[in-house]
Amino acid sequence: MSTTAAGTVPDVTPTRERADVRVAAPAGGLRGVLESSPFPILLVSLVGILLLTAFGPALVVGDTWLMLMAGREVVDHGLPETETLTVLGSGATWTDQQWLAHLVAYGTHALAGIRAVVVLDVLLVVAALALALGAARAAGATSRSTFLVGLLAVLAGPWGWTMRAQATALPLFAGVLWLLLDAAHYGVRRRTLLVLPALAVWANLHGSVLLGAALTTVLGVYELVRARRLDWLPLALAVLAPLSVLATPYGWDVVAYYELMLVDAPFAEILREWQWSSPGGTTALFYGLAAVTVALVAIGRCRRRLTVFELLVLGVTLAGAVQAVRGVIWFALAAAAVLPVALDGLLTRPDPEAPRVNRVISLVALAALAVALVLTLVRPASWFTSEWPERRVVAVRAAPPGRAG
């Protein structure tokens, strides 16, 4: 038995490549979480508070309006197949792979306006970050290391927190990653199969489902090879994860959509997020997180605390983040979930045992987040659209035909 700040828990020897690395996850239950994870809870709460109170208008971007427009199209006319909304794309094939995200955004706006859309975005971001940090704590990372890496992850790609279809996929990525990391530590179990329905839902929200499906397939194949026998659980992951990408109303036609987006995206040359992450002011913190990742992996006692699958997750998501700016957010969440355990190879001191103090810190942080949420809900709608002045729309509408541009 071993003792942590949250109580007494049994020793656990995960199925890692190094059996001498022993990990004891924090005790479960709400009280155990509050008393053992004050710093991750504080970080998640601070992110939510800042997004709600200071950056609300910045969360509304061009893609937000696109979501609402596309969602209205789905409600009024069903799933689109032909582009009719723009001049340049008129008549082209429109495979709205993100239709469910668009529908959720439009439905939220219909219920409570743009205010609710922004709140939904913040809740999605907070949930994703909480799941990523929770995965790190479940793997045995200290509260301190989880906070430090999580802070770097939050700062690495702040543009990834804006309201767009991608936001609806953030919690699914973090949740799927948690299940996969758990399987990499302790073996594939029945609950690991929850990734399959998660991927099926994700396939209707955002194209990043390809990343989730790829990681799931890799884990399934790796577990089959390592076990050297046919086990139906990892086999189900390896076979069904790729098929889950097709679980959309468009069926097989979605393959052509992914081929277009990944091989020859028509707007890759004009949209910054589709271009490689060239070093600069906006990517400086991302490269800082990347440098920390490489440094920890290079240190033997840190690297040995990670499984082969965890190293693969870091490598794949880092490569994707360098290849395109839009990939930074997935690397940031992966780093938040994986790196804290490695960092504990350097910061070897355990978390201080102060359950009452920790509980107070956690409760105060969560209470402050709740207050920020209430204050946001009573703000006027004009505050959320302050970066999109109505006078520009009025000017376009008033322009003579053919002169609006």
**Confidence category of residue 398, pLDDT binned at 50, 70, 90:** confident
Band the pLDDT of 241: cuts 50, 70, 90: very high
Q: Is the pLDDT of residue 126 over 80?
A: yes
Domains of the chain, residue spans = 28-398
Confidence of residue 92 (pLDDT cuts 50, 70, 90): confident
The predicted-structure confidence for 262-318, as pLDDT tens digits, reads as follows 887 777 777 788 888 999 988 999 999 999 999 999 999 999 999 999 999 999 999
Comparison of pLDDT for 123 and 272, the residue scoring more:
123
Nearest to 63 by CA among 152, 162, 159: 162
| Averaged pLDDT score across all residues of the chain | 89
pLDDT higher than threshold 90 for residue 197: yes
Residue 393 has pLDDT above 90, yes or no: no
Q: How far apart are CA 192 and CA 379, in angstroms?
A: 41
In sequence order, the β-bridge partners of residue 2 are: 9
Q: What is the pLDDT of residue 270?
A: 78
| Arithmetic mean of pLDDT, 4-23 | 41
Mean pLDDT of 18-23: 42
What is the SS3 assignment for 7?
strand
Spell out the long-range contacts of 185-189 with Cβ–Cβ below 8 A and sequence spacing 24 or more: 185/14, 185/15, 185/16, 185/23, 185/139, 185/307, 186/12, 186/14, 186/15, 187/15, 187/223, 188/219, 188/220, 188/223, 188/231, 188/233, 188/234, 188/237, 189/233
**Per-residue pLDDT at 15 exceeds 60:** no
Percent of the chain scoring above 90 in pLDDT: 71
pLDDT at 9: 38
What does pTM read for this prediction?
0.90
